[in-house]
Amino acid sequence: MRLDKLLAHTGFGTRKEVKKIIKDGYIEINGTIAKKPGEKVDPDKDDVRVGGQRIYYEEFVYFMLNKPAGVISATEDFIHETVLDLLGPADLVQEPHPVGRLDIDTEGLLILTNDGQLTHQLTSPKKEVDKEYYARIEGVVTEDDVAKFEEGLILEDKEEDFKTRPAKLEILSVDEEENESEINVTIHEGKFHQVKRMFAAVGKEVLYLKRIRMKNLELDETLPPGEYRPLTEEEIKNLKPE
């Protein structure tokens, strides 16, 4: 890897800015002052230091974000705040992207990474990855609804109506006086507004929706909405295919 590329990817500025840092003699490679931006380095083996401080390079980054309502799952938008706007500058250097998407008013677990292969593994419909949500529902959810979710529901679509794959619906509580229910639901697709449309298909409305699990990664409930943290090595390992 070129030295200037390594420095840019680890947050020391643009290519133009790091070239000046190199020219001014602030960079050492294995104890020797670097002189050329194009000098080749091996991030895993070479001791590269900026002003005496060693730098470390990670090819891939993985973050867990507790997405708040009002923020969109996109890399850029000219109207709304995006999930990337919630990251610090140093964590944007590797250009992470959201793995799948959550609707603007949906909260909860969202993975951010620059690992395209993992993104494909987690979002491809063929992989049938679990996506579990907690929701508050207007209406009394019944065992008949549980059976319909398990069987699959026909949802209208602009291009072509489709039948959802079997979904697991768990009733947590029902308040008949308030005409509200609390549920967990696990789906294996990611169609536009899918959970909301599934409940609409059985005559009910989603009042609040929060993703709490994707595959075997559960939302860290100690993360306030809008906050994020790196995934642990164990969490990354568990997300990847065996």
CA angle (193, 199, 200) in 5-degree steps: 80
User: 22: which 2 tokens?
Assistant: 């190199």
Considering 44, 103, 115, 161, which one is annotated as catalytic?
A: 103
Q: Helix or strand or coil: residue 135?
A: strand
The answer to whether 63 touches 231, Cβ cutoff 8 Å, is yes
Phi, psi (rounded to 5 degrees) for 68: -90, 165
Element (H, E) at 101: none
At 186, the amino acid letter reads: T
Q: What is the largest CA-CA distance in the chain?
A: 75
Q: What secondary structure does DSSP assign to 21-73, as a single string?
A: HHHTT-EEETTEE---TT-B--TTTS-EEETTEE----S--EEEEEEPTT-BS
The amino acid that residue 213 corresponds to is: R
Q: Are 6 and 46 in contact (CB under 8 A)?
A: no
103 is catalytic: yes
Q: Which of 190, 225, 230, 232 is nearest to 208 (CA)?
A: 225
Distance CA 181, CA 172 (A): 7
Task: Report, as residue numbers or ranges, the catalytic residues.
Answer: 103
